[in-house]
Structure 1
Amino acid sequence: MKTITTFLSLCAALVAFSANAEIKLEDNSKILGKWQVTAEAAALDKEKKALNVTWDFQKDGTLMTIGEDVGGRTKQMDIPIKYSVVDGVIKKQSAPGREKYEDCRVVELSGKDMILKCKYLYFFLTRK
């Protein structure tokens, strides 16, 4: 009985670890194209804030951010920022025109959905 309990505990630990494992990207080929950023959250289990933003990962290392102000104060904004894939992680500019970068790790990539863990937020994306 003790062996079974130990085995089940080990299996549960492995499942928990694999659920939070990140996906290492070899290059940008799996993320190229347009993604709808549907929500952001401080943690995976926290409340998600809905967004109306599109990220377009381009081959030349440009991440075109296309957003609309939900308050209606401005129209569509197109903001190009730089990105690259280094050591399996997306490195993207923190702000346009600044050479400060943040790491974004792919937490999940399945079918048309992707979850990114950046410095302060998780981003939930769906391929367009």
Structure 2
Amino acid sequence: MRHYLVSSVALLASFTANADVELKDASDVIGKWTVYAEAAKLDGEKKDVNIVWDFADGGILHTIATDSLGRTNEMKIEVKYMVEDGVLKKEVSPGRGKFESCKAVEKTADRMTLKCSFNYFFLKK
């Protein structure tokens, strides 16, 4: 019986640790966040990146990507975003009107992990 109880608690803890966090509105994301890594799986190998996502009032996401090895050192893009039904929705390409949904997997005041269509993004303030 005790083994069953320990196993049940461990199983419940693993579900709780991976439960999505519901964003209440845009105030949960507003401000500058540094995307420092991305990965195909939550517990997979992380690729280091250097991107700033600045969520501004009015639903505009200012993105600044830095690539010291590329032809362009810095790329700036503005896309629309919104928080609906507890999920961040951001425009895939500027002006296209096509949005991808990103669920917050983990969120604290200064850290957030988002699961978007194809990648996990790891952010810090």
TM-score bracket, shorter-length normalisation: over 0.9
Residue by residue over 1:31-60, the C-alpha shift from the partner in whole angstroms, topping out at 9 and shown as x without a partner, is 110001001000111111111110001111
How far the C-alpha of 1:111 sits from its partner, in A, is 3.6
1:1-128, aligned counterparts within 5 Å?
Answer: 3-127=1-125
Residue by residue over 1:52-85, the C-alpha shift from the partner in whole angstroms, topping out at 9 and shown as x without a partner, is 1100011110111011223241132210001100
Matched position secondary structure for 2:33? strand
Letter matched to residue 42 of structure 1: A
Q: CA separation in 2, counterparts of 1:72 and 1:88?
A: 36
The structure number with the bigger radius of gyration is 1
How far the C-alpha of 1:94 sits from its partner, in A, is 1.1
How far the C-alpha of 1:110 sits from its partner, in A, is 1.9
Once superposed, which parts of structure 1, at least 4 consecutive aligned residues long, lie more than 6 Å away?
none
Corresponding residue pairs, total: 125
Gaps of 5+ in 2: none
CA RMSD of aligned residues (A): 1.1
Letter matched to residue 103 of structure 1: S
Gaps of 5+ in 1: none
Q: CA separation in 2, counterparts of 1:26 and 1:4?
A: 39
Q: Equivalent pairs: percent with the same residue? A: 49
